[in-house]
Structure 1
Amino acid sequence: MRPPLRAVALLAATAALLAACDSGDDWSRPRPAPTAVGSLGPGFVDPSTPPAPEATITPRPGSWADVHPSKGYRVVLLTAGSDAPTKALVTAVRDWADDEHVDLRTVVVDNAHDAVPSISKAMEMGPDLIVSAGNELIDALALVTPNHLDEKFLVVGAELAEPTHNVTAVDWDGASYRGEGLGMSSSYDAGSFTAERCAAAVRAGVAAVLNDLTGIVVWL
């Protein structure tokens, strides 16, 4: 027996609604550029003297706390490694995304050979920002980022030796891995990757990016 026409119509309408929801979730629809909600506090940076490219700034603790991303901010978390510091950074990014209602997606890099293709995959998703967590990604980022200056990257807990204007890093004494054969910093301390430090790194870094303070190192 064929179902009643009314039932068929209802099923079709439901399917169309689900399809519309799915298509709206693929980051393909155009929308306004993201903006900063709130302002940087005193001591984050001297507004009369913007930092030069590749400069290091040391903002006053908490001067980034009132900056939030606008609604619908799209972020890809790019992560590699299973060490404790990387796990702490990943947790901090996910907690921040939950608190700020950020649309967060994750790309996990299983091995060094997959790093460059994984960065490409993250870019193809069309995010507003790619956040990198894990020292294993640094060399690949140094290779890829200069060729994609329209993409914004935030590196937390490490930095690139020669960042272009689209790469912002947040670092501190105890982290500061730079890759490119430079080896691990003599001051590296896995214990410095506390939950509080990692959370501050994510928020300070995003605050810098949202205020167009990019291509620099934010030192905590």
Structure 2
Amino acid sequence: MRPPLRAVATLAAVVALVTGCSSGDDWSRPRPTPTPVGSLGPGFVDPSDPPKPEGTVTPRPGSWDGVHPPKDYRVVLLTAGDDAPTKALVAAVKDWAEAEDVDLRTVVPKDAHDFVASIDGAIKMHPDLIVTAGNDLIDALAMVTPNHLSQHFLVVGAELAEPTYNVTAADWSGASFRGEGLGMSSTYDPASFTADRCAAAVRAGVAAVLTGLTGIVIWLDQH
């Protein structure tokens, strides 16, 4: 008997569409919490005044360069939207994954009705980190992420208005979309999504997550 059409549609929405830099690991085996390779440089945070939950830090440019993920770090890229800023962020994530030998899998919702199902599907893949790109996902992330505190998320090029400690963002004034009916920031600038800034957002954000600085916003206006 064929499965219901709705079940087929849901499966299609959450399936990983692209796999890159994979070791062949099916992700079914349990693994310990990933240990970063290297350490943060001076100026990422002030050791005497660590960031508070939902706080914002403005790290010194390049202070994240010494931190790398362990081999075969498992990452799901969850992305929605075909606008130029989203495409720039996706390219940055894929370039980082290739350079760092990350096991990257990509989930693309088919439409807005599938955002929540796609986030749930990404969580069920049990990655070390879910990286999101695209403003369209922000409201759905705000709904889902508080119910999955053991799963780390990195939002690049946007942020959640009230993130839980498992959601970290890498953002800047030209990209500060926060969802929840707040509208687009008056400083939003699609031209600010340069290759260099998007790359910095990915690397700085991952460095923060790997070193336990989660639930905060990494502000990159200095870059």
The answer to whether TM tops 0.5 is: yes
* Offset of residue 94 of structure 1: 0.1
Aligned equivalents of 2:154, 2:54: Cα separation in 1: 14
Aligned equivalents of 1:135, 1:189: Cα separation in 2: 13
- 1:29 to 2:32 alignment: no
In the other structure, the counterpart of 1:44 is 44
In the other structure, the counterpart of 2:125 is 125
Aligned equivalents of 2:63, 2:111: Cα separation in 1: 37
Aligned equivalents of 2:120, 2:126: Cα separation in 1: 10
Aligned equivalents of 1:130, 1:30: Cα separation in 2: 17
* Offset of residue 31 of structure 1: 2.5
- 1:56 to 2:56 alignment: yes
Structure 1 counterpart of 2:110, one-letter code? D
Aligned equivalents of 2:35, 2:197: Cα separation in 1: 25
Aligned equivalents of 1:212, 1:46: Cα separation in 2: 14
Deviation string, structure 1 residues 33-77 (Cα, Å, up to 9, x no partner): 211111100000012221000000000000000100011200000
Identity, % of aligned positions: 78
* Offset of residue 25 of structure 1: 2.3
Structure 2 counterpart of 1:166, one-letter code? N
Deviation string, structure 1 residues 146-203 (Cα, Å, up to 9, x no partner): 0110110000000000000000001101100000000000010000000000000000
In the other structure, the counterpart of 1:87 is 87
Which stretch shows the higher mean deviation, 98-107 or 41-50?
Answer: 41-50
Question: What's the TM-score, normalizing by structure 2?
Answer: 0.87
Runs of 5+ unmatched residues, structure 2:
1-23
Aligned equivalents of 1:68, 1:59: Cα separation in 2: 17
3-state SS in 1 of match to 2:174: coil
Aligned-residue RMSD, C-alpha: 1.3
Counterparts of 1:68-217 in structure 2 under 5 Å?
A: 68-217=68-217
Structure 2 counterpart of 1:64, one-letter code? W
Which protein is bigger by CA-based radius of gyration? 1
Structure 2 counterpart of 1:181, one-letter code? G
Aligned equivalents of 2:44, 2:86: Cα separation in 1: 26
